[in-house]
């Protein structure tokens, strides 16, 4: 059963093909992970996933989605992540982190407090162009050259801290309408300089950030990129551009594309259904010759196994199902006649 076979990424061996997708907890003070993050991520490592990717982690304070996002923009945050990565390691899982900048979708309320633009304590947001996400959102400032250099430097420094914090895999967040996706999409990027217009220009910031991160991220550790394969909107970023981008990524030192969709344009119609984004992961894998991760409404053991078996993706990322059941990988293994070593403390139960 391929789902439970190891997957080698540079010097790392993932023990199976199941990863916990990054999921914002909106529960940090000053960007610091705490007991919640340790128990939340730790229990999913105990649950048998090969890889646990920590939520969108801001590379700068201005890049947070909400005031309660975690970060890696200072050394105190770096130190606070160490117990989390150490615990995940001890469970035989790999600790990954998603580095993120929210761009024009920053300075927002937590979902359970409304999820719209912050009214109190808001900060100035930045983006490729001064176009708000929606009519009642902050109008961002278009990044100037110095601002762009700073963003690149923030990603580089955050990657350095991620390494020192004990993370062994970085995923760059270039999906869901956040800053890097805002540069990719012609709908949010109206720049007339070297960072806007042509495909080459719109993908430039992402390529420069990958290069900066690769300068400090060891060659023996994997680097992933999450993209939205389509904006689900005419004139936006789409699957053809995603394939074209994915073809360029291996040469830049990227090992896998985690294929999501949407998030750039509000109120679009998305044809939701089981595994609805899997065909994008399959097409990118087939046409760009890079490993892919499939995510989105993957909730059943058989379904996860089929995706990997059919070579639609190299791994599956599980988000909400792993909130409902942190032991999803163990349950899937049991259902499919495989097994994942349980922690010694729990062996009497298996």
Ligand X SMILES: Cc1cc2nc3c(=O)[nH]c(=O)nc-3n(C[C@H](O)[C@H](O)[C@H](O)COP(=O)(O)O)c2cc1C
Residue 255 binds to ligand X (criterion: CB under 6 A): no
Only segment of 17-25, 114-122, 128-136, 227-235 that touches ligand X (CB under 6 A) = 17-25
Place of tokens 């551009």: 241
Binding mask 217-246 for ligand X (x = CB under 6 A): ---------x--------------------
Q: Which is nearer to ligand X, 74 or 303 (CB)?
A: 303
Three-state SS for 36-99 is HHHHHHHHHHHCCCCEEEEEEEECCHHHCCCCCCCECCCHHHHHHHHHHHHHHHHCCCEEEEEE
Contact 247, 196 (CB under 8 A): no
Residue 264 binds to ligand X (criterion: CB under 6 A): no
Only segment of 128-136, 183-191, 235-243, 314-322 that touches ligand X (CB under 6 A) = 314-322
CA–CA gap between residue 274 and residue 151 (Å, rounded): 36
Tokens matching residue 311: 């070579």
178 is known as an active-site residue: yes
Only segment of 6-14, 211-219, 278-286, 294-302 that touches ligand X (CB under 6 A) = 294-302
Pick the binder of ligand X from 35, 190, 286, 320 (CB under 6 A). Answer: 320
Contact 252, 210 (CB under 8 A): yes
From the list 26, 178, 195, 327, the catalytic residue is 178
* Cβ 73 to ligand X shortest distance, Å: 16
Pick the binder of ligand X from 37, 156, 176, 191 (CB under 6 A). Answer: 176
* Cβ 316 to ligand X shortest distance, Å: 9
Residue 71 binds to ligand X (criterion: CB under 6 A): no
Contact 191, 131 (CB under 8 A): no
What are the φ/ψ torsions at residue 176 (nearest 5 degrees)? Answer: 55, 25
Residue 166 binds to ligand X (criterion: CB under 6 A): no
Only segment of 142-150, 231-239, 307-315, 317-325 that touches ligand X (CB under 6 A) = 317-325
Residue spans of beta strands (DSSP E) within the chain: 7-9, 12-14, 18-20, 51-58, 94-100, 126-127, 141-142, 169-174, 223-228, 256-260, 291-295, 315-318
CA–CA gap between residue 45 and residue 333 (Å, rounded): 15
Residue 69 binds to ligand X (criterion: CB under 6 A): no
* Cβ 304 to ligand X shortest distance, Å: 10
Place of tokens 């800053």: 179
* Cβ 195 to ligand X shortest distance, Å: 22
Only segment of 22-30, 114-122, 199-207, 208-216 that touches ligand X (CB under 6 A) = 22-30
Residue 270 binds to ligand X (criterion: CB under 6 A): no
Residue 318 binds to ligand X (criterion: CB under 6 A): yes
CA–CA gap between residue 18 and residue 338 (Å, rounded): 13
* Closest-approach residue to ligand X (CB): 319
Q: How many chain residues are in contact with ligand X, going by CB under 6 A?
A: 20
Residue 300 binds to ligand X (criterion: CB under 6 A): no
Three-state SS for 160-178 is HHHHHHCCCEEEEEECCCC
Q: Which residues are catalytic?
A: 178
Question: Which residues of the shown chain bind ligand X in the complex (CB under 6 A)?
Answer: 21-24, 55-56, 98, 173, 175-176, 226, 260, 295-298, 318-321
């Amino acid at each position: 059963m391929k789902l439970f076979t190891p997957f080698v990424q540079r010097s790392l061996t993932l023990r199976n093909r199941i990863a916990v997708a990054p999921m914002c907890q909106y529960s940090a003070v000053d960007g610091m992970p705490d007991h919640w993050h340790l128990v939340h991520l730790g229990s999913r490592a105990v649950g048998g996933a090969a890889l646990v990717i920590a939520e969108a982690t801001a590379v700068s304070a201005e890049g947070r989605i909400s005031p309660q996002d975690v970060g890696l923009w200072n050394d105190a945050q770096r130190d606070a992540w160490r117990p989390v990565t150490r615990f995940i390691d001890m469970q035989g899982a790999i600790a990954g982190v998603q580095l993120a900048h929210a761009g024009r979708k920053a300075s927002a309320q937590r979902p359970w407090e409304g999820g719209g633009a912050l009214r109190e304590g808001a900060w100035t947001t930045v983006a490729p162009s001064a176009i708000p996400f929606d009519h009642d959102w902050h109008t961002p400032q278009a990044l100037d050259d110095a601002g762009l250099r700073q963003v690149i430097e923030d990603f580089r420094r955050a990657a350095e801290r991620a390494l020192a914090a004990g993370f062994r895999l970085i995923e760059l967040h270039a999906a869901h309408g956040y800053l890097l996706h805002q540069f990719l999409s012609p709908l949010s990027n109206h720049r007339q300089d070297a960072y806007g217009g042509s495909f080459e220009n719109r993908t430039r910031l992402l390529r420069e950030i990958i290069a900066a991160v690769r300068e400090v991220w060891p060659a023996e550790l994997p680097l992933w990129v999450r993209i939205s394969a389509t904006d689900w909107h005419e004139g936006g970023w789409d699957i053809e551009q995603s394939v074209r981008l994915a073809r360029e990524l291996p040469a830049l030192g990227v090992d896998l594309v985690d294929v999501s969709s949407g998030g750039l344009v509000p109120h679009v119609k998305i044809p939701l259904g089981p595994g609805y984004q899997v065909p994008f992961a399959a097409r990118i894998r087939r046409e760009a010759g890079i490993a892919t991760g499939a995510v989105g409404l993957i909730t059943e053991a058989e379904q996860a196994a089929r995706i990997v078996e059919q070579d639609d993706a190299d791994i599956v990322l599980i988000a909400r199902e792993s909130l409902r059941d942190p032991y999803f990988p163990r349950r899937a293994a049991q259902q499919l006649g495989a097994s994942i070593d349980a922690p010694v403390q729990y062996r009497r139960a298996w």
